[in-house]
Every structure is written in structure tokens, then in C-alpha cells.
Amino acid sequence: MLSPTPLSLFCALILCLPLVVIVTITSPTTTIHGGSEHDPVSDFALAAKTHQRFSVKPSPLPPADDKSLLPAASRVNSRTPPGLPKKIAFLFLTVSPLPFAPLWELYFNKTPKNLFNVYVHANPTYPYKTPFSGVFAHRVIPSKPALRYTPTLISAARRLLAHALLHDRSNHMFALLSASCIPIHSFNFTYETLTQSEKSFIEILNNEIGSYDRWAARGPDVMLPEVKLEDFRIGSQFWSLTRQHARVIVSDEKIWAKFNQPCLVWDTCYPEENYFPTLIHMRDPRNVVPCTLTHVDWNGSSNGHPRMYAASEVGPQLIVRLRNDKPRYDDAGINGSDPTLMRWRDPFLFARKFSPDSIRPLMSIASDLIFKD
């Protein structure tokens, strides 16, 4: 028997190479790093790493730590790709399960999947008995605890924005929502309202009662010199931002360094209601509609929380009344805002807070009322 020569071995290796290349390209990447079967963060990693067959260059996973994640997101293109549908990124910030998931499922049910993305920041210390499912499956980003009276709620929102920016260039508007939020219009109505706007919807209020106490909650001079009292603003933590403003937030270091400090007086410490309106006011006040599109009722509020609607209150009359209410705008277009806003009447698209047991009456009127405009 003849011994193989170097030349024959080389030829055999060349003949095998095409097979190796084909196997490498057509095998989808499904490995996840760490985590149990019901780990929501691992679910998001699985969705991000899985790519279509023959994909030559899969999208890399976003960095796990904020110090790498935010700079990476700040470098994305500020414009959505031409020729492709604009998408809305729905950002759910929750510290518990989502009691209105069935309502949101119905909301997204007949919607083309190329018009929206869903992202969830979930408290990793909460004992979730079942994983997020349906439209929320594999959509939980790597999350950290988010606590009231601390800047961690700001961090959570910034984290959601960063993941949404890195995940899909078609994300055009970014709507922040809580577990107690519900839609009060159809998806089509919401989509047209947001994608036709070139401005962000974020409540930016000046000269509010208690502004100084909030500004000085970390100490009388801590916010200086970067954030002067006259630049300090108050507003709802729930907003709908353009891609450009999403990049402004994830890129910010100077203003964030001031808000990312512990408060000395906790009962005047609501960083999530101050950081976003203050930053956008200081950076780009002309490209905002200074109102929130998430309805909330502060009459009868308790311990800093707005009124929560009980299941017995939920019905057609409540939804119609929420729709007919007018958002509150910045006072007379102060400091760069457009004074014509006082004549505008933007529609509320979402509402909060609803008790978890409201899901039954909400589902009973969803198809015939909530999702009909």
C-alpha cells in the first residue's frame, strides 16, 4: 500500500473545505450564556443571538454592562433606514409581572410585526413563577433592580433605550410604559400619531411647586454648576421620544452625573420625573411637544402615587373620558417651546394606573371600544 504523499494530503484537505464552510454558515447560533430555562434575561440573549440561515454576519449581543452599553448605543445612526417602515419601540419598565399582558397581546395581535418592537426591563430579584410569554417572550433585556426615590429608575429607562437603539435601526419612536399602563386607542391610531411626528412628546414643566426642594434634594449646591435652578424641570416619567432624543439620553454623561447621586431628602426625590425633562430642555427644547401622551389622574393621589382605577370603575365611559381629556403643555411656550402648542390638542394614547383585577372588564370592552377609533 502506498504511503500518502504531502501533495495528496493537501489535495484531500482542499476538497473538504467547502463542506466545512457550508456547515458553519447554515448552523444557527442558539447558545445562551448562563441562566435557567425560565430566566427572562437569557430569553432575550437567545432571541438576539439567533439569526437566519445563511446570515454571514449576525448582530452582536449588546454589552452587558452600562459603561459599554451606553457608549455603543450613542454611536448608532440617528436616522432610520430609508425605504423601510418606521417602527415604534415599546419599552416596558416593570418590577413585577405584567398584569395587562393579555390586553397588550390583543393590541399587537393583528399588527404587522415589522411595525413595532417590544423590550422589557424586569426586576431580576422578583420571583417570577412563569416566564414572559407571547409578544413579551424573549424580550426581557439584561436588567437591574429599579427602586423608587433613587436614580436606578433612570438607569433602567436608559438601558431600555440603549438596547432598542442597538437592536433595530428602524426604531423611530420610543415609548416608555409601566406595568400599570394600558392602551386607550388602537395600534393603528397610535402608530400614525407617533410616526408622523418629527418631535418627541415629553412633559416639560417650569415653575412647579416644590421645584427648589427637588433640585436641592441631593444638597443645596450639588447640582451646580451644570444644572442651575432655572434650568431644572419637572414632568411625567412616561414619554415618547424620537430616535435623535433617545441618542441624546444614552450619550449624556455630564447631566447624568448630577442626577446619579443619592438624595438626602427622600420625600422630595423623584429623579425619573426630573432628569429626562431637564436634559431635553437643556439640549433641544424646540424639537419637543412638551406634554405626555400617557394619561394619569393626580386627584386623590397617595404617597406620591397617582389614582389607581379599580375594576368597578372600568367601562366605556371611563375610556371615552380619558380619550377626551387634554394633555397639559408647558406654560405658554417658555424658553424655546413653540407658543402655538397652546392651541394644539394631542391625543392621549395610553393611561395609568389600573388595578391588576381590571384586566377582566378591560378585555370585555377591548375589541368593541378600546381598539376602535
From 230, 226, 235, 237, select the one nearest 261 (Cα to Cα): 226
pLDDT at 1 over 60: no
pLDDT at 315 over 50: yes
pLDDT at 187 over 60: yes
In a domain, 361, yes or no: yes
Q: Model confidence at 89, in pLDDT bands (50, 70, 90)?
A: very high
pLDDT at 337 over 70: no
In a domain, 24, yes or no: no
Give pLDDT, residue 65. Answer: 80
Distance CA 195, CA 191 (A): 6
In a domain, 100, yes or no: yes
Question: What residue ranges in the chain does DSSP mark as E strands?
Answer: 87-94, 116-122, 171-178, 182-183, 200-201, 240-242, 288-289, 294-295, 350-351
Rg value, the chain, Cα: 24
Give pLDDT, residue 130. Answer: 74
pLDDT at 58 over 90: no
CATH code of the domain containing 93: 3.90.550
Q: Which of 2-11, 43-52, 201-210 has the lowest mean pLDDT?
A: 43-52
Give pLDDT, residue 330. Answer: 76
Q: Which of 21-30, 45-54, 61-70, 246-255 has the highest mean pLDDT?
A: 246-255
Q: Which of 38-42, 96-100, 272-276 has the highest mean pLDDT?
A: 272-276
Give pLDDT, residue 306. Answer: 85
Domain encompassing residue 314: 66-365
Give pLDDT, residue 345. Answer: 82
pLDDT at 51 over 90: no
- Report how many domains make up the chain: 1
Name the pTM for this structure: 0.83
- CA dihedral (291, 292, 296, 298) in degrees, to 10, reads -40
pLDDT digit string, tens, across residues 251-291: 999 999 999 999 999 889 999 999 999 999 999 999 999 99
In a domain, 314, yes or no: yes
In a domain, 80, yes or no: yes
Question: Mean pLDDT over all residues of the chain?
Answer: 84
In a domain, 171, yes or no: yes
In terms of pLDDT, which residue wins out, 259 or 44?
259
In a domain, 226, yes or no: yes
Distance CA 101, CA 113 (A): 17
In terms of pLDDT, which residue wins out, 44 or 116?
116
In a domain, 160, yes or no: yes
